[in-house]
Amino acid sequence: MRALRLPAWKTEPELVEVDEPTPGPGQVVVKIGGAGACHSDLHLMHEFEAGVVPWDPPFTLGHENAGWVHALGAGVTGLEVGQPVAVYGPWGCGTCARCRVGADNYCENPAAAPVPGGGGGLGLDGGMAEYELVPAARHVVPLPDGLDPVHAAPLTDAGLTPYHAIRRSWPKLPPGSTAVVIGVGGLGHVGVQILKATTAARIIAVDTREEALRLAAEFGADQTLRSGERTVEEIRSATGGRGADVVLDFVGADATLKIAAAVARTLGDLTIVGLGGGSLSVGFFSVPYEVSIQTTYWGSRPELIEVLDLGARGLIRPKTTTFELDDAMSAYRRMQDGTLEGRAVIVP
């Protein structure tokens, strides 16, 4: 079968022929219907080097995957060949306290995981191929009626990651509250939809690109702001001087973190989702009192089930552009130069 593989750090992926996988006991082979291209893949190609993460190439890319059950290993129950499914991306040890409740993203025994801190497309072979081997059946989640694999694939990360970040802040997003979304690209535009579908908050979207702000408005943002020198002042003005109850930074650069800290309300949440490489100095007087600052990574398997339900009901639907496997690198090039709107889905 054909697969888009990363042969080494700081190299371009290659489309090559590899053997079709065969499931062992407890494993599942999924025929891929859609594999999302993620901005983090660009970090793998161009920035990472040996020692940055506890795994190395070569491996097949693609950590946002959905399709149909193709083959079942011995002992697998609850799934049927041909059944439409999504693949939960983080693959933990399966036995620690976090994994037992479905939070493999925060596995506390990574040495016992299939690959420490990773998963398919992140150290092990992912979904940018005709088939993907999933090492444990618990990572295969049946799709609800009304959701096809092409639309489900980006929900496994671009939907799950912002959903987890927003869900943990639900108590701070009642009627009368304000949420600020900084960066409304591939993840941020889905974050706007999740806020609209699951909270009563007023949503302010911030970005440097007019096309991204138009997309945010289309998906439910109450106010859009072009990032600039007056952004903090404009958000403070829009919130009566109080600031935002929840700030979600989907960029994570120095400039966006500075804005996020300046517009957060006392007792609010500031959640850093983006991998922009920035840092935020935290001291007694550097942020408003009792502002909680946190990073998040992906989400849990139970949360993915909730995300897929929202997707099947049409409440969240990432804007996608599909590409054939032969043209996957075009998706990454458009992502890198900023001309891709929303998410790219590779359809083998």
Closest by CA position to 192, among listed 261, 273, 256 = 273
pLDDT digits (tens, 9 = 90+) for 105-141: 999 999 999 999 899 999 999 999 999 999 999 999 9
At residue 52 the predicted structure's pLDDT band, cuts being 50, 70 and 90, is confident
Token digits of residue 33: 């219907």
The phi-psi region of residue 78 (left if phi > 0; otherwise alpha if psi is between -120 and 50; otherwise beta) is left
CA 35/CA 346 separation, integer angstroms: 5
Amino acid symbol at 105: N
Task: Give, as one character, the DSSP assignment of residue 129.
Answer: B
Amino acid symbol at 180: V
Whether residue 218 has pLDDT greater than 90:
yes
pLDDT at 102: 97
Domain boundaries 160-295, corresponding CATH code: 3.40.50.720
Pairing outcome for strands 59-60 and 64-72:
unpaired
Cβ atoms of 195 and 166 closer than 8 Å = yes
C-alpha distances out from residue 167 to 3, 73, 175, 247, 274, Å: 35, 35, 16, 13, 17
Whether 2-157+299-347 and 160-295 share one fold: the answer is: no
Domain boundaries 2-157+299-347, corresponding CATH code: 3.90.180.10
Cβ atoms of 125 and 58 closer than 8 Å = no
Closest by CA position to 67, among listed 3, 4, 126 = 126
pLDDT digits (tens, 9 = 90+) for 305-327: 999 999 999 999 999 999 999 99
At residue 64 the predicted structure's pLDDT band, cuts being 50, 70 and 90, is very high
pLDDT digits (tens, 9 = 90+) for 139-186: 999 999 999 999 999 999 999 999 999 999 999 999 999 999 999 999
Q: Is 100 helix (H, G, I), strand (E, B) or coil?
A: helix
Whether residue 51 has pLDDT greater than 90:
no
Pairing outcome for strands 292-295 and 223-226:
unpaired
Task: Report domain extents, the chain.
Answer: 2-157+299-347, 160-295
Cβ atoms of 228 and 175 closer than 8 Å = no
At residue 195 the predicted structure's pLDDT band, cuts being 50, 70 and 90, is very high
CA 108/CA 104 separation, integer angstroms: 9
pLDDT digits (tens, 9 = 90+) for 229-249: 999 999 999 999 999 999 999
Token digits of residue 147: 């959701």
CB atoms within 10 A of CB 279: 11
Tell me the pLDDT of the chain averaged across its residues. 96
Tally of CA atoms within 13 A in the half-sphere of 74 that contains its CB: 2
Alpha-carbon torsion (227, 311, 88, 121), positive or negative: negative
CA angle, corner 340, sides to 338 and 343, nearest 5?
125
Cβ atoms of 180 and 245 closer than 8 Å = no
pLDDT at 136: 97
